[in-house]
Structure 1
Amino acid sequence: MTTPDTPSRKDENTIGAIVARLLLESGAVHVTGAKPFVLRSGWASPVYVDVRRLISSVPRRRELIGAALATVRERIGLDRIDAIAGAETSGVPFAAWLAESLSLPLLIVRKKPLGFGRNAQIEGDAPAGARVLLVDDLTTDGQSKLNFCRALRAADLNVEHILSIFYYDTFAESRRTMAELGAVIHPLSTAHDIIEQARSGRYLAPADIDKVEAFLLHTSEWSKAHGGIARLP
């Protein structure tokens, strides 16, 4: 097994910069020219981050998992996790690589029960009370995490921490959702990291950077003005 390139000593800001660079280099960051992106939860946004672009590059995903390992070690503690759960579907590959690196059981949690056979919402096995780290690729307002955490807890699993490869970190609703969940989100990168790296590395045009910054400053207003929701229903 190939060992990921684990950062030996990196603070949160440095990890954010590394992962933002990986996303920009892989072409995962898209800024709209005219028509805004509408995210799954209904928010309109000028920027969309396709984290799945990272799964095809071996060097980049190895560096990414190294950053994830450093985050788990420094912010959660390796001895406080008994299993890794990948959120359907985009969180699964990242969860699998992390579980393999930590020699921990892997679970897959679906958005809803399968609908046939065992009608399972959770695949894999972990003992009741196991401390599970939920892994997903992207977090906007946190509503999908609410669903995943409820499913895991209904299976008598303990979920206190969520690892997200990218986190918009601009929706007030996400903070309220995490408070409601009683879970801490650990993002590897945020939209603010993307902006900082884009400026330093010239990955995005200045006009695109200005557009994303305007969105981050006035998210609800920007979304509403461009056909999206201004708040959760």
Structure 2
Amino acid sequence: MSADEIGRAVAQLLFEAGAIHVSCGQPFILAAGWASPVYVDCRVLLGDPERRRAVTDLALARLTEDFPAGAIDAIAGAETAGIPFAAWLADRTGLKLRYVRKGPLGIGRNAQVEGGPVEGLKVLLMDDLTTDGGSKLAFARGLRAAGATVEHILTIFYHGVFPGTEDRLREAGLTLHALSTWADVLDADAGDRLAPADRAEVERFLEDPVAWSTWHGGRNTLAPRL
């Protein structure tokens, strides 16, 4: 199954699950601080058994396509929604499972990585959504501090529109593998899933997301590199 086919299939699942929310009035403020007329809620895929099996099948297909046997020792789910997706994929592949918090717990062992040691392991970081990559850098730092080798990220949906995202990940030695992007969503829309006014607003946002965010009270630049 090609990456394009996987992208369209994931986009269709997102539409069917009601994960694509458009607001032409009050903008959404994404976790990274950007203002957006559209919010993609990959977490709705968690609740339906058929859809979560389907997205796990598609993630497995992408994993098989992108990585040779033995290239990964463990999958680490990113707090919070990345954890169940990583667990299902780890079950399907027989790989070790870990999870990584946004920061150390602050109590007990003060651990950021749970599920067992990662020292010396080649770990794939998995999350549900990637906006501008900022949280992925923090997760990767936590895994690396615990001794893991982390070079790749697998995400269910990637906005892919905020400038500099892939550059900042590349500078950190990270490659992003996205199951679906806005190109897949608009392709899957085929003119009948989004209302014309909603699609037009999404397309205006995608033409210049930084300007759209700035105009609507959100962030206007990428966060400084840490």
Q: Normalising to structure 1: TM-score of the pair?
A: 0.93
How far off its partner does 1:181 sit? Answer: 1.6
> Which residue of structure 2 lines up, in the alignment, with residue 24 of structure 1?
15
How far off its partner does 1:88 sit? Answer: 0.3
How far off its partner does 1:48 sit? Answer: 0.4
Q: Distance in 1 between matches of 2:118 and 2:202?
A: 44
106, 115, 128: which one aligns with 2:106: 115
Structure 1: stretches of 5+ with no match in the other structure: 1-9
Aligned to 2:25, what secondary structure does the other structure show? coil
Aligned to 1:172, what secondary structure does the other structure show? coil
Tell me which amino acid in the other structure corresponds to 2:212. W
> Which residue of structure 2 lines up, in the alignment, with residue 125 of structure 1?
116
How far off its partner does 1:86 sit? Answer: 0.3
Matched length:
223
140, 144, 147: which one aligns with 1:149: 140
Matches within 5 A, 1:154-233: 154-199=145-190, 202-233=192-223
- Over the aligned positions, Cα root-mean-square deviation in angstroms equals 1.1
Residue deviations 1:164-192 (CA, integer Å, cap 9, x gap): 00000101131122112211111011112
Q: Distance in 2 between matches of 1:17 and 1:127?
A: 34
Q: Distance in 2 between matches of 1:68 and 1:15?
A: 8
* Residues 74 and 124, structure 2, Cα contact 8 Å, conserved in 1: yes
Aligned to 1:164, what secondary structure does the other structure show? strand
Aligned to 2:219, what secondary structure does the other structure show? coil
88, 97, 101: which one aligns with 2:79: 88
Structure 2: stretches of 5+ with no match in the other structure: none
Tell me which amino acid in the other structure corresponds to 1:220. V
Q: Normalising to structure 2: TM-score of the pair?
A: 0.96
> Which residue of structure 2 lines up, in the alignment, with residue 75 of structure 1?
66
Q: Distance in 2 between matches of 1:30 and 1:150?
A: 32
Q: Distance in 1 between matches of 2:68 and 2:131?
A: 25
* Residues 72 and 78, structure 1, Cα contact 8 Å, conserved in 2: no
User: Runs of at least 4 residues of structure 1 off by over 3 A?
Assistant: none
* Residues 83 and 126, structure 1, Cα contact 8 Å, conserved in 2: no
How far off its partner does 1:111 sit? Answer: 0.5
Q: Distance in 2 between matches of 1:63 and 1:34?
A: 33
